[in-house]
Every structure is written in structure tokens, then in C-alpha cells.
């Protein structure tokens, strides 16, 4: 029985400068030769040699990568089959494309442990050796999958599985088109379907990324500045937030003694309050340095609670600060305090800045619940309660989602420009793979391949 030729990336996925696509099987050389341009065909080079050349997409003649290709003929190889290792250096995108080309030209993606399985099947190692390798791999990957799965909550996982299924549906349609290229109307229908579906997937990935940025907030705290003129109630607001919310996460001294960060839990959102030293100080630094100081505090904040006095008229300082706040994309909530006093503030003028206004009387603890709601509204569309069970909070996942978004974006752009459908296909497959990595689908393979390369080197 002749086994199919298998392929996989045999270096750990990620930042590594060099990545290896490894083929093993009866057609390894033939498949590689379809893609390889060098001095000689690989079928003609000596065994156990490294050969310089280029990987080219034979359907477009596009040069994908400059490579060194190791050729090892059976039986003196790890699997006892012909092995070709394509050494790439162009980063994960290129490596994926090379892998994709080997898949497009007759190889099948190796299953976890399959190289070792072959070594065993072909008598290269005995069962106990194979088993110990497999056990090790399995232990590692279970743990890794658990780690990965621990980050992922059920909803996200099924969400991504759904996205992947939809991409597979598009790919199936594309496959039909590639099989029947002579029918123009099939191609048109395929492109229309592809664009339609791919755009929906893109929108959903965008949604996930929105969730992701919320996850980051939950993890790192939302940098928040309490700003305003002297005497409007900043210290009172801070004290209220700190006292009322017993769940202060931590209180850390900053790099300078002046800067103090405090974390308070407001409606489930950890606010990282910036530069509270200035507000806490009885001499009130804000009072001394005024607008300049306020500007500095605003600098690193994502949320600004701009406190004003209901009893005051709108001053030129206020107008200056509000106008500059309105110009940038930070979230601002105007806390119009001291509503227990007589109104002198021009509400209509204030509303003209288009920022949410919450009226409070901190002295009487009024309006503070509304303030919490407003904060939650701004950042979580009011749904912060279920946050822990829904959000992506891992930078690696966020990064993968961003890559997925750009890959499917590429597919859409290509389809719109009538690029040949098998090119579009590559980006769709890539999107599918990247999404798979998010839910840990690929983790085992990476680990195994890493293990294999160690195992190979060690022998």
C-alpha cells in the first residue's frame, strides 16, 4: 500500500526567521519540483543535499520565495520515505503560501504525529519508541490545548467554528468553479456568492475584535482621567469612586511620586484612574497649574470624566478644554456636578459638544449610578455583566483575528478585482487557518512539529 504524500510546516509558528515546509512520501520530490525553480530539478539532485532556488506559483509564475531545499531520499530518512524540506525565510505569510502550494499540488496536510507514525509504519522506529514520542506529544498538546481552551470561552469558540464553516462553504463553491471553469455563469455566481459571504465573515471578525478591545480593557483597566476646574468636585468624585467601590484592585506608585494610579471597579469595568495625586492633594495641584495640568492628565487617558459645576457659568477655560476634547477621539463624559445648587450652567451650550452629560450631586450621592451606567454604555454597549464569558482577552488571539481580518479583506479585494479564483482561494484558506489557530486547532500541530524537528536533530 502506498501512503499519500504529507506536508506540514515543521518549524514553530510565529516570529522565527526561518520556517520549513516538510514533505514526506512517494510524491514528495515530484510535488516539490512543480513549485521549485533551480539549477536542476530536485528529482535529479543527489540525496542529502541542500539546493538553492525559488518557489514559484506554477499557475501564475509568481515567485513566492527564495529557498534552500533539502532533499533526502528513502530509506535513509526519518520516515524512511522521500523527504523534501523547503527552508523559507520570508515569515509566516510566505511559509503558509508555500505550504498551501504543496497542498494545491497533491500533498495532504500531515496529521499530528503522522511523521512519527510513518517512521513506525516503515520500520524506522519500534512501537515503544513511537509510543513514547506520541505520549509526550499528547501530554504536551493536551496541556497546550487546555491552556488555549482556558482562554477561550464556549461562545467564542462556537462563534469561530461557525465562521470557519462558512469559509469552508465558500471554498466548496470555489472548488466547483475550478472544476467547471468553462461555464462563465458559474464563475459569476461563485464570485457573487463569495463576495457576499466573505463580507459577512469580515463583519463578524470585526465584531470579535471589538469584543477583544473590551477584553483588553477588562484585563488592563481603562485609563481614566478626572479633569476639571478647581472646586467642581473632582476629589469628591474620586473619593466616592474609591470608597463606594470596595474592590480597589491595587494602588501602585508610579514612576514619579506625583503620579499615582488607582484602580476602581465601576459597574464591572476596572477604571485605572490616572494621576489621582493631583486630585487627592489637599492643595490640589490642578488648582495650581490649572488648564496645563488638566491637559497633561488628559494625555494618556482613554476615558475622561470632565467635571463641571452646575452652579457655574461656562467659562472660557471650559470652552477651550471642551473644544480640544471634542477634536480627538477619546471618550468624554461631562459630569455636571452640584445639581443641588442653583443652575447657572448653560445646558444647551454644553450639549452642543455632543458629549454625554451626566448630572450629579456628589454631595448627596445623586446621579452616580447613571454615571456608572454611562461608562458601561460607552464601552460595552451596556452589556458588561457577561463580559468574562464572552471576550477575547489574549494578545495572541487579537493578533490572529487581526490577521484573519486582513486575509479575508485581501480575498474580498481580489475577488472584486476579478483576480483568478484560485488566488482568492489562498486567502480564504489562510483566513480559515488563522481562525483555527485562535481556537487552538493548530496548537497541537505546531508543538508536534517543533518536537519532531528536535527529535530529528537529536538522532
Nearer to Zn ion by Cβ, of 360 and 404: the residue is 360
Residue 284 is a binding residue for Zn ion (CB under 5 A): yes
Q: Is 232 annotated as a binding residue?
A: yes
β-pairing verdict for 83-88 and 251-253: unpaired
Give the C-alpha separation, 453 to 20, whole Å. 10
* Nearest by Cα to 424 from 92, 205, 195: 195
Task: State the minimum distance, in angstroms, from the CB of residue 324 to ligand GDP.
Answer: 19
Residue 378 Cα distances to 222, 302, 331, 390, angstroms: 12, 11, 8, 18
Give the span between the Cα atoms of 447 and 443, in whole angstroms. Answer: 6
Our finding on whether 235 is near Zn ion (CB under 5 A) is: yes
- CA atoms of 142 and 44, how far apart (whole Å): 42
Query: Is omega for the bond preceding 358 within 30 degrees of 0, making it cis?
Result: no
Q: Which is nearer to ligand GDP, 45 or 285 (CB)?
A: 285
Q: Are strands 222-228 and 303-309 parallel, antiparallel or unpaired?
A: parallel
My answer on whether omega of the bond before 171 falls inside 30° of 0, hence cis, is no
For residue 181, the partner it binds in ligand GDP, Zn ion, none, with Cβ less than 5 to 8 A by kind, is none
Nearest to 191 by CA among 450, 428, 453, 372: 428
User: Residue 34, annotated ligand binder?
Assistant: no
Q: Residue 237 Cβ, how far from ligand GDP at the closest point, in Å?
A: 7
Q: Is 315 annotated as a binding residue?
A: no
User: 343 by DSSP, 3-state: which?
Assistant: coil
Interface characters, 25-64, with Zn ion (x: CB under 5 A)? ----------------------------------------
The answer on whether 354 is annotated among ligand-binding residues is no
367 binds, among ligand GDP, Zn ion, none (CB under 5 to 8 A by kind): none
CB-CB contact of 295 with 327 (8 Å) = no
Task: Tell me how far the alpha carbon of residue 419 is from its chain's centroid.
Answer: 27
Q: Which does 118 bind (CB under 5 to 8 A by kind): ligand GDP, Zn ion, none?
A: none
CB of 215 to Zn ion, least distance (A): 33
The footprint of ligand GDP (CB under 6 A) covers 228, 230-236, 279, 284, 337-338, 340-341, 361-363
The window from 54-62, 167-175, 191-199, 279-287 that contacts Zn ion (CB under 5 A) reads: 279-287
256 is in an annotated binding site: yes
Measured from the CB atom, is 92 or 304 closer to Zn ion? 304
- Name which of Zn ion, ligand GDP, none residue 370 binds, using a CB cut-off of 5 to 8 Å depending on partner kind: none
Cα gap 165→97, rounded to integer Å: 21
Please spell the DSSP secondary structure of 266-317, one letter per residue: ETTEEEEE--HHHHHSTT-HHHHHHHHHHHHHHHT-SEEEEEEETTSPPPHH
Nearer to ligand GDP, 260 or 400 (CB): 260
**Site membership for Zn ion, residue 360 (CB under 5 A):** no
Binding residues for GTP: 231-236, 250-256, 275-278
Which residues make up the interface to Zn ion (CB under 5 A)?
Answer: 234-235, 284
Binding residues for K(+): 231, 250, 252, 255
Binding residues: 22, 85, 124, 231-236, 250-256, 275-278, 459
Amino acid at each position: 500500500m502506498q501512503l499519500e504524500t504529507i506536508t506540514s510546516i515543521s518549524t514553530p509558528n510565529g516570529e522565527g526567521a526561518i520556517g520549513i515546509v516538510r514533505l514526506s512520501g512517494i510524491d514528495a520530490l515530484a510535488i516539490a519540483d512543480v513549485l521549485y525553480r533551480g539549477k536542476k530539478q530536485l528529482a535529479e539532485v543527489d540525496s542529502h543535499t541542500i539546493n538553492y532556488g525559488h518557489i514559484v506559483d506554477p499557475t501564475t509564475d509568481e515567485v513566492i520565495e527564495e529557498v534552500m531545499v533539502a532533499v533526502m531520499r528513502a530509506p535513509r530518512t526519518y520516515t524512511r520515505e522521500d523527504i523534501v524540506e523547503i527552508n523559507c525565510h520570508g515569515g509566516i505569510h510566505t511559509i503558509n503560501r508555500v505550504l498551501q502550494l504543496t497542498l494545491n499540488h497533491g500533498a495532504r496536510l500531515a496529521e499530528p504525529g503522522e511523521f512519527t507514525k510513518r517512521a513506525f509504519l516503515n520500520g524506522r522506529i519500534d512501537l515503544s519508541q513511537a509510543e513514547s514520542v506520541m505520549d509526550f506529544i499528547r501530554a504536551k498538546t493536551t496541556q497546550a490545548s487546555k491552556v488555549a481552551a482556558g482562554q477561550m470561552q464556549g461562545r467564542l469558540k462556537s462563534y469561530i467554528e461557525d465562521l470557519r464553516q462558512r469559509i469552508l462553504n465558500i471554498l466548496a463553491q470555489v472548488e466547483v468553479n475550478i472544476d467547471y471553469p468553462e461555464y462563465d455563469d458559474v464563475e459569476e455566481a461563485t464570485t457573487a456568492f463569495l463576495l457576499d459571504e466573505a463580507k459577512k465573515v469580515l463583519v463578524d471578525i470585526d465584531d470579535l475584535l471589538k469584543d477583544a478591545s473590551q477584553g483588553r480593557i477588562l484585563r488592563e483597566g481603562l485609563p481614566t482621567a478626572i479633569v476639571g476646574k478647581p472646586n467642581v468636585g473632582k476629589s469628591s468624585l474620586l473619593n466616592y469612586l474609591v470608597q463606594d467601590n470596595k474592590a480597589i484592585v491595587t494602588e501602585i506608585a508610579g514612576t514619579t511620586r506625583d503620579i499615582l494610579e488607582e484602580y476602581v471597579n465601576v459597574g464591572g469595568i476596572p477604571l485605572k484612574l490616572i494621576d489621582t495625586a493631583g486630585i487627592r492633594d489637599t492643595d490640589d495641584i490642578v488648582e495650581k497649574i490649572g488648564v496645563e495640568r488638566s491637559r497633561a492628565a488628559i494625555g494618556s487617558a482613554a476615558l475622561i470624566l470632565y467635571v463641571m459645576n452646575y452652579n457655574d457659568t461656562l467659562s472660557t477655560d471650559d470652552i477651550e478644554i471642551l473644544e480640544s476634547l471634542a477634536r480627538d477621539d477619546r471618550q468624554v463624559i461631562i459630569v455636571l456636578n452640584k445639581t443641588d445648587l442653583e443652575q447657572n450652567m448653560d445646558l444647551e451650550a454644553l450639549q452642543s459638544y455632543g458629549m454625554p452629560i451626566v448630572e450629579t450631586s456628589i454631595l448627596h450621592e445623586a446621579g452616580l449610578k447613571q454615571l456608572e451606567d454611562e461608562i458601561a454604555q460607552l464601552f460595552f454597549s451596556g452589556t458588561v455583566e457577561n463580559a468574562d464569558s464572552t471576550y477575547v482577552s489574549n494578545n495572541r488571539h487579537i493578533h490572529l483575528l487581526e490577521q484573519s481580518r486582513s486575509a479575508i479583506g485581501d480575498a474580498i479585494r481580489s475577488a472584486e478585482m476579478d483576480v483568478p479564483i484560485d488566488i482568492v482561494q489562498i486567502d480564504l484558506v489562510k483566513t480559515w487557518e488563522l481562525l483555527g489557530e485562535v481556537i487552538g486547532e493548530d496548537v497541537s500541530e505546531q508543538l508536534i512539529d517543533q518536537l519532531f524537528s528536535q527529535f530529528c536533530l537529536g538522532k
